[in-house]
Structures are given as structure tokens and as C-alpha cells.
């Protein structure tokens, strides 16, 4: 136990650097994925076939491709057509693009779950669609989607480890490099697992409180 603690003190500064990068990748990816996901949801529920059909095809296309392939494509293929991305940029964009499709479907389900009677009532008093979405539909949809959205957030945090394959030195990558240089796999990856738990458990608790508060506000 004393060996584990002494080695942990030595390894933690390096792993914490990776943890901060993991948080940065997750936050930026989530922000972009949320904006794109909301856009996909609004287009899917617009009632305009010229907008809904291409968006549905895009969503199904991206959801059918593994995250690793998207990351490889952005990092290794895009430079061949003149778009050079850093590993960090490719990682954020790849995760955001992938998760925007899942978050978009979550938002779409929330929008479609809003009581149709309220939508009809809003239309009957002359509300245009943008105003109706902003004041009637989206506030209720957001409360509905909190649980699945929180689940997507936690999954995104864990899937951020996949950007290590394109050399982003986040927590998992730092763990692999540290383990390969020290040959102390047990200590290093135990610390990596504990650091992920330190990120995901408080996140789950916060999202649970948000879910309960928003549920009480219905």
C-alpha cells in the first residue's frame, strides 16, 4: 500500500495534465454537439421534407460509422484535400459530430413528446413557429430530455478517451505513455480508472439534482 501511495504521488501530476485535457475535449465537444444536435432536431421536426429528409440521412449516416473511423478520417484524410486539423481539433470535431446525432435524436424525441394540444393552442392564438418553439415547445422538451442528455454527457466523457488514437494526450493517452515508460501498469491504470470515476461520479450527481429540480418544476 505504501508503494502504491508513493508511486501515485509521482504519477498523478502527469495524469492530471491528461485529465484536464479530457475535460477540455469533453466540454468543447459537448457544446458543439448540443448546438448541432438542436439544429438537427429542429430540421427533423420542421415539417419541410427538403430539410427533414437530408438531415435524417446525415444523422443515420454518421451514426452508422464508428467514432474511431470518423477521427481517423478527420485527422488523416482531410489534410489530403487541403484541410489540416490538429489532433485536438480533429478530436473535438469528431466527437461533436458523432454525439450531435445522438443528442439530436434525444431533442427530437423531446420535441415530439410535447402535448400536441399545447401546440395547437399556440397556433390558434397566432403564434408563428419560431415563437412557438421558443416559448412553448423547447422549454418543455428540455425538461423531458434531461435524463438521456445526462447519459450522453457521461458517455461523451468516457468516449473522449478515443481521441488518444490520434495522439491527443488526454488521460488515457497519458496513462498509456506513463505505463510504457515505467512498466507499472497496475498502479498507472488504477489511477486512470480512479480519475475517470472522480469525473463521472460528481457529474452523475449534479445531473441527477438537475433532473430532480426540473422534474419538480413541471
Give the end-to-end CA distance of the chain in Å, rounded to a whole number: 50
Question: In the structure, what pLDDT confidence band is assigned to residue 216 with cuts at 50, 70 and 90?
Answer: low
Nearest to 59 by CA among 99, 113, 31: 99
- Closest to 206 in 3D by CA, of 150, 166, 156, 140: 150
What is the per-residue pLDDT across 18-49, written as a single tens digit (0 to 9) for each? Answer: 999 999 999 999 999 999 999 999 999 888 89
- What pLDDT, on the 0 to 100 scale, is given for residue 125? 81
| Distance in angstroms (rounded) separating the CA atoms of residues 185 and 183 | 6
- Beta-carbon contacts of residue 33 (< 8 Å; ≥ 6 apart): 95, 96, 97, 98, 99, 100, 103, 156
The pLDDT assigned to 184 comes to 86
Q: Give the span between the Cα atoms of 56 and 158, in whole angstroms.
A: 26
pLDDT tens sequence across 93-116 = 999 999 999 999 999 998 888 878
> Quick check: 36 and 100 in contact, CB under 8 A?
yes
- The three cell numbers locating residue 31: 457544446
What pLDDT was estimated at residue 217? 52
| Non-local CB neighbours of 102 within 8 Å, separated by 6+ positions | 37, 63, 152
Q: Give percent of the chain with pLDDT exceeding 90.
A: 57
pLDDT value at residue 122:
77
Give the pLDDT confidence score for residue 215 in this predicted structure.
Answer: 62
Q: For 57-69, what is each residue's pLDDT tens digit?
A: 999 999 999 999 9
Q: Is 64 helix (H, G, I), strand (E, B) or coil?
A: coil
Q: What is the pTM of this model?
A: 0.87
The H-assigned helical ranges of the chain are 2-44, 49-63, 67-72, 87-113, 116-124, 129-132, 138-159, 171-182, 185-216
How many whole angstroms separate alpha carbon 121 and alpha carbon 130? Answer: 15
Mean pLDDT of the chain: 89
pLDDT digits (tens, 9 = 90+) for 130-176: 788 878 888 888 888 888 898 899 999 999 999 999 989 899 999 99
Amino acid at each position: 500500500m505504501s508503494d502504491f501511495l508513493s508511486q501515485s504521488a509521482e504519477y498523478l501530476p502527469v495524469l492530471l495534465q491528461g485529465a484536464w485535457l479530457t475535460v477540455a475535449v469533453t466540454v468543447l465537444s459537448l457544446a458543439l454537439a448540443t448546438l448541432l444536435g438542436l439544429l438537427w432536431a429542429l430540421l427533423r421536426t420542421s415539417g419541410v421534407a427538403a430539410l427533414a429528409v437530408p438531415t435524417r440521412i446525415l444523422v443515420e449516416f454518421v451514426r452508422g460509422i464508428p467514432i474511431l473511423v470518423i477521427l481517423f478520417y478527420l485527422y488523416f484524410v482531410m489534410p489530403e484535400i487541403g484541410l489540416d486539423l490538429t489532433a485536438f481539433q480533429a478530436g473535438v470535431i469528431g466527437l461533436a459530430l458523432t454525439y450531435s446525432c445522438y443528442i439530436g435524436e434525444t431533442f427530437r424525441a423531446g420535441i415530439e413528446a410535447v402535448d400536441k394540444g399545447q401546440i395547437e393552442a399556440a397556433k390558434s392564438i397566432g403564434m408563428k413557429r419560431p415563437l412557438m418553439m421558443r416559448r412553448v415547445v423547447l422549454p418543455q422538451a428540455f425538461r423531458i430530455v434531461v435524463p438521456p442528455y445526462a447519459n450522453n454527457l457521461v458517455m461523451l466523457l468516457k468516449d473522449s478517451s478515443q481521441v488518444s488514437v490520434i495522439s491527443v494526450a488526454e488521460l488515457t493517452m497519458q496513462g498509456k505513455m506513463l505505463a510504457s515508460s515505467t512498466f507499472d501498469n497496475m498502479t498507472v491504470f488504477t489511477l486512470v480508472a480512479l480519475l475517470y470515476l472522480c469525473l463521472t461520479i460528481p457529474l452523475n450527481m449534479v445531473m441527477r439534482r438537475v433532473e430532480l429540480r426540473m422534474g419538480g418544476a413541471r
